[in-house]
Structure 1
């Protein structure tokens, strides 16, 4: 599976693509750009793929070689300075799973998040108490304070997705509503939160009938990020194995295959209107 490299943000990828576009518009090869930079052509290739840090001095040299004007150089360097600032999730990095660290910048640019959740309430629709109770069982390696931090991170993710008008389209098994997480109070609060969520225009929730065989029966949690930035491909995350681990891919084949599976399971699941009844 192709994985996002740690520290390679959406902003860096956009800038790297812009540098490549400017080089090509200037009619320069990577070898010629490397000569101007005093480096090997492989260095320019890595810069254009954001496989290495974008250094302000190198970027300035390349922009000058490409014939960029003063205004454009200032604009690119300004974007680079902002891209190098820590992401909003920086305060939570010590309690984040590795795949979350890789995907946060992508999530921040996502237009639609599609989720298949086989046994629990989808993470992006969970309450803090429900999230904390899940970690109590699945993450005994974490301290109480770390579990509280993770619940806080999840709430911040949910808020930011609402603020950026990202649509959440989730499909969960009816069994999820009968899997007790925490006590009766936690479950009652979570059901109420789901009832409120489905009234929002940015949330679509479908429930697959208990015992129904469908295209994703037996599969672990799958999340598909439909990205709204031309330079960034869609991503798919397949959780499973040890708690806190996941496979991340942005290859066209993997994304297309999982999108097709999600399409099939959405057809098999209850209509969103019917799904509301399951929450009562």
Structure 2
């Protein structure tokens, strides 16, 4: 994909909270009229260290942060508040108990998802993950992830249900586009499919969900033939949009936050939405 990089290389060790704090440190330095070299002298470190701190390429050390804030002229109350936010950012994410069964790209992107305002998804052959029932999700893993133990599949289903719950709690909007082929592809038994259809009908009534279903025999569109693609938008100026293109191998995905890649997929998805039937027509397809 254009501009694609693995999250492990691009975002390793960084969370939304760390990125925000790192950017604030840079803003405070510039407001104090100090160069990176001068900040490095105050820290007793190399200029590259300050650059890495400001770009969140390294963990934020409390002692270094305190020294930088003091050099920038921050008051005691401001320093204490900043360090308090840093301590909170260093706590394990809510998803920590499920780390052993998460796909590699999810480990680093979950903090972005946890702050997302809207998530847009294209799913070519299955029901989008964020709209799946537990039974459907478990059945998908049973088919696509034979490498996992039954216990691990159960844990992955638990994680997905927790993700769905938290996204609802934080009022994240889900805008999903799927193919009607998913409704004609048996995943699990008939009871699983009946329950999943009902869950989609229920989701349509939620204000946070928009669902468009491309009909069988419908027009070719820009996302035709593409794998699952997700776009994440966060209402935090320091955090860029992210695009995730899932791969064929177990748990693989290309992730990018480059403006070129994100804009390209935004455009493709916008055009696909225009071609797809109106969300109100999804009710008819699901009956």
1:29 matched residue in structure 2? 35
1:217 matched residue in structure 2? 224
2:256 matched residue in structure 1? 249
Gaps of 5+ in 2: none
Shift of 1:148: 0.3
1:1-280 paired onto structure 2 within 5 Å? 1-2=4-5, 3=7, 4-211=10-217, 212-280=219-287
Could you tell me whether the CA contact under 8 Å between 1:195 and 1:279 is conserved in 2?
Answer: yes
Matched position secondary structure for 1:237:
strand
Summarize deviations over 1:83-118 as a string: whole Å, max 9, x none.
Answer: 000000000000000010011000011000000000
Could you tell me whether the CA contact under 8 Å between 2:116 and 2:234 is conserved in 1?
Answer: yes
Shift of 1:243: 2.4
Matched position secondary structure for 1:115:
strand
Could you tell me whether the CA contact under 8 Å between 2:13 and 2:58 is conserved in 1?
Answer: no
Shift of 1:241: 2.4
Matched position secondary structure for 2:210:
strand
Could you tell me whether the CA contact under 8 Å between 1:170 and 1:205 is conserved in 2?
Answer: yes
Summarize deviations over 1:39-72 as a string: whole Å, max 9, x none.
Answer: 0000000000000010000000000000001111
Could you tell me whether the CA contact under 8 Å between 1:114 and 1:169 is conserved in 2?
Answer: yes
TM-score w.r.t. structure 1 length?
A: 0.99
Relative to structure 2, which stretch is displaced further, 237-246 or 27-36?
Answer: 237-246
Could you tell me whether the CA contact under 8 Å between 1:6 and 1:101 is conserved in 2?
Answer: no
**What is the distance in 1 between the residues matched to 2:12 and 2:26?**
21
Count of aligned positions: 280
**What is the distance in 2 between the residues matched to 1:119 and 1:8?**
32
**What is the distance in 2 between the residues matched to 1:10 and 1:226?**
12
Shift of 1:226: 1.0
CA RMSD after TM alignment: 0.7
TM-score w.r.t. structure 2 length?
A: 0.96
Gaps of 5+ in 1: none
